[in-house]
Amino acid sequence: MSSSDSISLSTSSSSESTESERSRGRRFDEEGTSSGGMVSGIPMETVREVREDPLEELAESNWPTKGGYGWAAADVRNQSSLFRWSHLLNSWLNCTPVISKGVSRDIVSLERVSAIDQVCHGQEGATEKFFYMYMCHFSQLHVRLPLDGFTMGVLRALNVAPKQLHLNSWAYLQAFRILCQYLYLETSPYAFLYFYDTKPRRPTTWLSLISRPSISRLDAFSQSFKHFKDGYFKVVVKEEGKAHFLNADGSTKFPSSWTGSPSRYKDMGMDELSAGDKEVVEILLKFVDKLPTKGLVRVYNSVHPIIDIEGHMAQSGNKNLESVVEVHVHGGTNRKGELPPRHGKGKDVKRARAVLLGTGSASGARSASGDKGLESGLIELPEISVRKDIAINLPDTIINSIDGMEADHIVRTMVEFGSKALILSRRVGSLYRREVKEGGREKVEELQGKVDKLEKEKAALEKAKESWEVERKRLAT
């Protein structure tokens, strides 16, 4: 609630009048209402807003504190929220999106935290399922509700609640998700955790993901998040949102409250990954340069996300993906296609070059056998045939924009789309191999069934043959 009054002060030669006006102004100040003022003899009006907190929110400070959380660190047990006041939470929610586009806002209820609820407290006495989230999740990391399957899978694998995972680690998670989407890879919790270690501490505090130096593909998030700990609020699951957050048995799809035993990961090996997870990891390990975590996270809030992520990938160095491209040259020798940087006028312009991987002379000199060696610029391209029933149609606006592009911009764009085509072809190839492998397994099982059936029939015939032989000998005697 707020109240405001206003008064105007006018000039007067009477000291009694002046003193009266001063006392009135002082009285209004003490009562929390507005008081008037005067600048250069011009009457001014000042309005002061006074907030009156609801009595039930004020009374919560006298509630008894919760016990049984000795397993949590002291700074965790003593961390209360700024959002104990409903007016603060409502003001923040009015300017920050929390729910994903196209999703009903009725799946959850966003509520303040009571004065005695600390960040590590559980569901004691609650009649509805809820979990806490930080304001930084939404304002800086662009997380949206409901959480996707990949995010919930990571929380399950780590055995931590959303607010128990440190915000810097959430940044890694968000960047990994957008990177996999760009590369058309399936986001997998264990493929993500392969690149990190965890070292849970005792007593329990916020869990951080530690990048494995030799294989990390995302750089450190530059935001320190020093003041995130007191900005959490309650997310209550409503009837319409149960399918998003709860399993069929009513349990949550991820830990909703702090746990005293977060999972420990240390130097996860490839043999611990499934075939699909291993494929994702192997593709990401092709990257040479680290990618900008902060830049990838910002893509979530971008007006043109594809353009922005293309820019981040270009800045990170296209040698990341081109290093895996191999072509065949004259004589059956393999060469690797690279795009080494050529610096000029402040731009990272790249040109294609073939690097000899096999035997032969790149300088054009004759080999020991007398044959002329391979020329460094000579690459044998397969014959290209275009089907007549395929038409490529582009609007005139796109054609005109391409015609107006600079040459080095066109080259960079071709490289980026070439990288995407490479990833797609690898994905299609792996899916085809998997399908062939699974189909072959089914064929083998079918043949094995026929073999087993034939073995049974053979055994039956052998037994019948023995009985016939006995009968023949009997008849002969």
123: amino acid identity, one letter: Q
β-bridge mates for residue 326, sequence order: 336
Domain that holds residue 93: 55-60+71-284
Question: What is the per-residue pLDDT for 42?
Answer: 57
332: confidence class by pLDDT, cuts 50, 70, 90 = very low
Final residue belonging to a domain, choices 246, 261, 284? 284
389: confidence class by pLDDT, cuts 50, 70, 90 = low
Residues 260 and 167 in one domain: yes
For the chain, give the number of residues.
477
Residues 126 and 193 in one domain: yes
Residues 121 and 14 in one domain: no
Final residue belonging to a domain, choices 263, 284, 305? 284
386: amino acid identity, one letter: V
Residues 92 and 175 in one domain: yes
Residues 102 and 183 in one domain: yes
Question: Average pLDDT of 210-234?
Answer: 84
Question: What is the per-residue pLDDT for 291?
Answer: 85
10 Å CB burial of residue 72 (0-12, 13-18, 19+) is: buried
Residues 20 and 79 in one domain: no
In a domain, 36, yes or no: yes
Domain count, the chain: 2
Final residue belonging to a domain, choices 245, 260, 284? 284
Residues 32 and 148 in one domain: no
pLDDT, tens only, 69-101: 999 999 999 888 989 888 889 999 999 999 999
In a domain, 269, yes or no: yes
In a domain, 4, yes or no: yes
In a domain, 129, yes or no: yes
**Rounded distance, CA 325 to CA 338, Å?**
8
In a domain, 152, yes or no: yes
327: confidence class by pLDDT, cuts 50, 70, 90 = very low
Residues 80 and 144 in one domain: yes
Coil, strand or helix at 42:
strand
* pTM greater than the 0.75 cutoff: no
In a domain, 106, yes or no: yes
Residues 13 and 113 in one domain: no
Residues 198 and 115 in one domain: yes
Of residues 355 and 188, more confidence is placed in: 188
C-alpha to C-alpha distances, 201 to 73, 163, 205, 262, nearest whole angstrom:
9, 16, 7, 9
